[in-house]
Amino acid sequence: MTDDTEHLIRFLGHGQFSPGVIDRAEGSSVFTEDGRELLDFTSGQMSAILGHSHPEIVATIREQTGRLDHLYSGMLSPPVLELCRRLAESLPAPLEKAMLLSTGGEANEAALRMAKLVTGGHEVVSFARSWHGMTQAAAGATYSAGRGGYGPAAPGNFALPVPDRFRPDVTGADGELDWRRQLDLGFDLIDAQSVGSPAACLVEPILSSGGVVDLPPGYLAALRDKCHERGMLLILDEAQTGLCRTGDWYAFERDGVVPDIITLSKTLGAGLPLSAVVTSADIERRAHERGFLFLTTHVNDPLPAAVGTTVLDVLNRDRLAERARLLGARLRSGLDELATRHPVIGDVRGRGLLVGLELVTGGTAADSDRLGAAVTRRCNELGLHMNIVQLPGMGGTFRIAPPLTATEAEIDRGVEILDKALGDTAA
């Protein structure tokens, strides 16, 4: 019998494709060709915040495809103008100028290119467990994986230590993370290496591939101050945290910190390839005066833009930020209860419906990786798609991100399946 994957390039590093072939998806579930239903606790690629095949998204695609789907990149259309206006209205001042692209990596590439042009610098700071994309500048700012074997990265990229409260590397007298001292030390090292050409700091408010690490309250404001003292722009990558998933429209709202540039993707298209860069009128003007160029085949395409506006409509009408808070609290309560019965659960963390669950074995990181892979397989067998961070040394950490449209019963069912999978695997 022929292997179904014989003609595929394998692109997951040392990770494997999920078992089975998915035939269709609806709501919070995906269905395999052989008829199995899997509760989807990753929202596809952490994107389908309205669930799969949401009827209003389907209707928008059908209508817009029949009217206007793609244009020459210099042409404008009503869906593009409308979505850019709506994004500006959803964000605090001075964020009011937007461009629409296809992927998060592309949006981060454009944001970094703009920051370098406006500041005249080229140096970029990001977290040591960051993931921002696979294109040149975005990959240069990515440290969690993918650096080995591809030749030299662009000069001027610096890693900042991660303020991980579960595994603190700089502690105070109480043994807790001393993130202020860690941040000071990190920038001391960056200053020592800098050639005096700072441009930007690109970070996620919650590191997703880095292990669902939520920045401590106050950290983002201190980081902004460090950046502005050095003439750097603060770019927030809210690909996974933006648009209600954390219980706020944007994760930075908790800290009252407005970035110089914000990038969005994943959740903006609710599963379709749509991303955005949003910045201030001042930064946009300075970039334009210097001839800002970022021309791609699908920049400002009308079809995904129309979908993005529908996503904003549903998020607003159905009050999905509030729903993410309520469902997130229910999910956390269930996982916290599991932690009282399963000693392998070391930590539960996150915000809203972006939750991390870290397994610990008392052995090596490789042991945790193996346990995470085994629990993932067992969850799949029992009808739940869970996602571990598929990076060496981090495979014991689950990223749990159900759709914001999930029901309470589906949240409870997912927790029950995880409970059984942990019990079966630990045994």
Catalytic residues: 131, 204, 237, 240, 266, 399
- Looking at residue 33, its amino acid is E
Beta strands in 224-300 (DSSP E): 233-237, 261-264, 275-280
Residue among 153, 257, 262, 78 nearest 141 (CA): 153
**Tokens 């994986």 sit on residue:** 145
* Residues 6+ positions from 114 with CB-CB distance below 8 Å: 261, 277, 279, 283, 287, 292, 294
Backbone torsions φ then ψ of 212, nearest 5 degrees: 55, 60
CA distance 343 to 361: 9
- Looking at residue 163, its amino acid is P
SS3 of 279, please?
Answer: strand
Which own/partner contact pairs does 361-367 have at CB distance under 8 Å and 24+ positions apart? Answer: 361/396, 365/392, 365/393, 365/394, 365/396, 366/392, 366/393
Q: What is the full DSSP assignment across 87-123?
A: HHHHS-TTEEEEEEES-HHHHHHHHHHHHHHHHS--E
If you ran DSSP here, which 8-state letter would residue 266 be given?
G
At 276, list the tokens: 């955005």
> Quick one: 28 exposed, middle or buried, by C-beta within 10 A (0-12, 13-18, 19+)?
buried
Q: What is the full DSSP assignment across 332-380?
A: HHHHHHHHHH-TTEEEEEEETTEEEEEE--SS-HHHHHHHHHHHHHHHH
If you ran DSSP here, which 8-state letter would residue 320 be given?
H
